[in-house]
Amino acid sequence: MPTETFEFQVEARQLLQMMIHSIYSNKDVFLRELISNASDALDKLRLEALRDDTLGADVSDLHIDIEADKDARTLTVRDNGIGMSHDEVVRLIGTIANSGTAKFLKELKEAQDPAAAEGLIGQFGVGFYASFMVADEVTLVTRRAGESKGTRWASTGEGTYTIETADDAPQGTSVTLRLKPADTEDQLFDYTSPWKIKEIVKRYSDFITWPVRMAAEAVEPTADAEDGADGENAESTAPPEPETLNSMKALWARSRDDVSDDEYHELYKHISHDWNDPLETIRMQAEGTFEYQALLFIPSRAPQDLFSQGHKRGVQLYVKRVFIMDDCEALMPEYLRFVKGVVDAQDLSLNVSREILQQDRQIQLMHRRLAKKVLSSIKEMMAAHPERYATFWREFGRVLKEGLLGDFDNRDAILGVSSFATTHDEAEPTTLQQYVERMKEGQQHIFFMTGESRAAIENSPHMEAFRAKGVEVLLLTDPVDEVWVDAVPEFDGKQLRSIAKGEADLDTEEEKKEVEAEREKRQQEFAELLTWMTARLGEDVKEVRLSSRLTVSPACIVSDTHDVTPALQNMYRAMGQ
């Protein structure tokens, strides 16, 4: 097959331009990304070999090799993992599947100054393309396990890439970077320096469960090897033993005191493909008949696709240190789908399938304990780190509230860590607990109103009586708020009441009697008018009555207690119902 030339998809091209001209200060992370991809590829091969014994791939020595050539100014990262077919190379390397990218590029265009652009690279992460921060040409040679022919992909990152058949490609993938000249001049950025490579691997990839190796020659600087007494050994003809650079220790199996926050954060980045530190790290150990360890993370930003159909849950399942699957939905409830991490179970079969997991009683117990643990960690964060909690709530509150609909067991725990916009304070949301503590003498209920925005609710005539009396109202503006308020009967013995439904129960019993008497009197005065109006409005209303709830507006429309609210009507309409 001759060499074919392809154009990068538009988004990919834009991203590459960014990388080429990047001033992103933390260029070292390109190596982390390559090792992370190689590690994923080894996980996948190991798993596929386990499931398909006709695959015929050698899985006896799975590892990652790093090879630096100072004179040629190249750096190669090689794995003997799953590899890619010709079509996979085109699909996975030539285009960008990540749905966050479009938003990323849009923000990037709007970010005028380089510093803002740099921040954005760090926020979104760019995986394989990060290579173009340090290389002016990247060559990838790969052969998929089970296939006989390999593929060579090459690009300078300038709009096109070439693809040709590579007959002699070993199984797996090698990525060779031709390093930009500037980087080798500066010692700090010499990515062919064994010292530098070792340092980066230690810092970012130490926990990778596969050996990351580098030839010993490269590891020992020649000055050391020539040092006197060892001379005889150095002259030995045996090929140098490669040195393994990473400890390969699973962080979740190490004791808390042994692991630094940075190490946890790097594991998080590997699992989540996020370039930011997580907001919270959660550890859990279960001993006894069903033993497992969990290391979970709450990200600091919601991903773009959190509300789209295809969004995957982020918890990986390991069995006795062996990676089994990504996105293990049996381990986390849907409303905690933003949680990332690893669960390592001791007593499962390596062959366990998603179907089996869904049925397994032990897994269901684990699911429950993990959910509780995440909720209790959020609770602790709320008390100990209010700012972190505020970030959490801004990013994930809408998702968490979905749990109020289905997870009856944890409803109180979820309500306990939820917060809501309120008329009490423009800027600070309130918890239900705080609301209850502020309730007025004689106030029976927790009042709320749902709507599209804070302004829309505040301008609603329904607010008038509450404002006049100084009674606090929660302002609920997320679509999910329309639904959970009906599913949650009460908090702390207080009912939740929509101020847009039925009679607003604002007054004490005495006041109510007075108001009622007054209304009766006036109802009679206005009886004729009301009958006439009811007749005129006909089909459109059930009843026209005098209201005591308005102080400024002449009229407002209310629904019966059991009717759907106007906002919910809009939502149903939008859904085409």
β-partners of residue 446 are: 496
Q: Which partner from the list Mg ion, ligand ADP, none does 341 bind, CB cut-off 5 to 8 Å by kind?
A: none
Closest CA to 25 of 141, 145, 114, 140: 114
Residue 522 zone, left/alpha/beta (φ > 0; ψ -120 to 50; rest): alpha
Q: Which of 24, 46, 81, 86 binds ligand ADP (CB under 6 A)?
A: 81
Q: Which partner from the list Mg ion, ligand ADP, none does 41 bind, CB cut-off 5 to 8 Å by kind?
A: ligand ADP
Q: Which amino acid is at 574?
A: A
Candidates 78-86, 156-164, 324-332, 513-521; binding stretch for ligand ADP (CB under 6 A)? 78-86
Residue 338 marked as a ligand binder: no
Structure tokens at 211: 């050996």
Q: Which partner from the list ligand ADP, Mg ion, none does 150 bind, CB cut-off 5 to 8 Å by kind?
A: none
- Return the number of other C-beta atoms located less than 10 Å from residue 437's C-beta: 10
For Mg ion, what does the binding mask look like between residues 486 and 515, x meaning CB under 5 A?
------------------------------
Strand pairing report for 212-214 and 160-166:
unpaired
Q: State yes or no: residue 37 binds Mg ion (CB under 5 A).
A: yes
- Rounded to whole angstroms, the Cα distance separating 556 from 486 reads 23
For Mg ion, what does the binding mask look like between residues 122 and 141, x meaning CB under 5 A?
-----x--------------
- Rounded to whole angstroms, the Cα distance separating 138 from 132 reads 8
- Rounded to whole angstroms, the Cα distance separating 175 from 162 reads 14
Size of the site for ligand ADP (CB under 6 A): 15
Q: State yes or no: residue 461 binds Mg ion (CB under 5 A).
A: no
Q: State yes or no: residue 367 binds ligand ADP (CB under 6 A).
A: no
Q: Which partner from the list ligand ADP, Mg ion, none does 481 bind, CB cut-off 5 to 8 Å by kind?
A: none
Residue 124 marked as a ligand binder: yes
- Return the number of other C-beta atoms located less than 10 Å from residue 149's C-beta: 14
H-run or E-run covering 135 = strand 135-143
Closest CA to 494 of 564, 424, 447, 561: 447
For ligand ADP, what does the binding mask look like between residues 394 and 433, x meaning CB under 6 A?
----------------------------------------
For the chain, state the CA radius of gyration: 31
For ligand ADP, what does the binding mask look like between residues 15 and 34, x meaning CB under 6 A?
------------------x-
Residue 391 zone, left/alpha/beta (φ > 0; ψ -120 to 50; rest): alpha
| Shortest Cβ 65–ligand ADP spacing (Å) | 12
Nearer to Mg ion among residue 127 and residue 314 (C-beta): 127
Q: What b/e string do you get for 550-573 counting C-beta neighbours within 10 Å, with b at 16 or more?
A: eeeeeeeebbeeeeebbbbeebee
Task: Say whether 254 sits in a helix, a strand or coil.
Answer: coil
| Shortest Cβ 440–Mg ion spacing (Å) | 55
Residue numbers 273-292 binding ligand ADP by CB under 6 A = 273
Q: Which partner from the list Mg ion, ligand ADP, none does 79 bind, CB cut-off 5 to 8 Å by kind?
A: ligand ADP
| Shortest Cβ 125–Mg ion spacing (Å) | 8
Structure tokens at 111: 């970010």
Q: Which residues bind ligand ADP (CB under 6 A)?
A: 33, 37-38, 41, 79, 81-84, 92-93, 127-128, 173, 273
Q: Which residues bind Mg ion (CB under 5 A)?
A: 37, 127
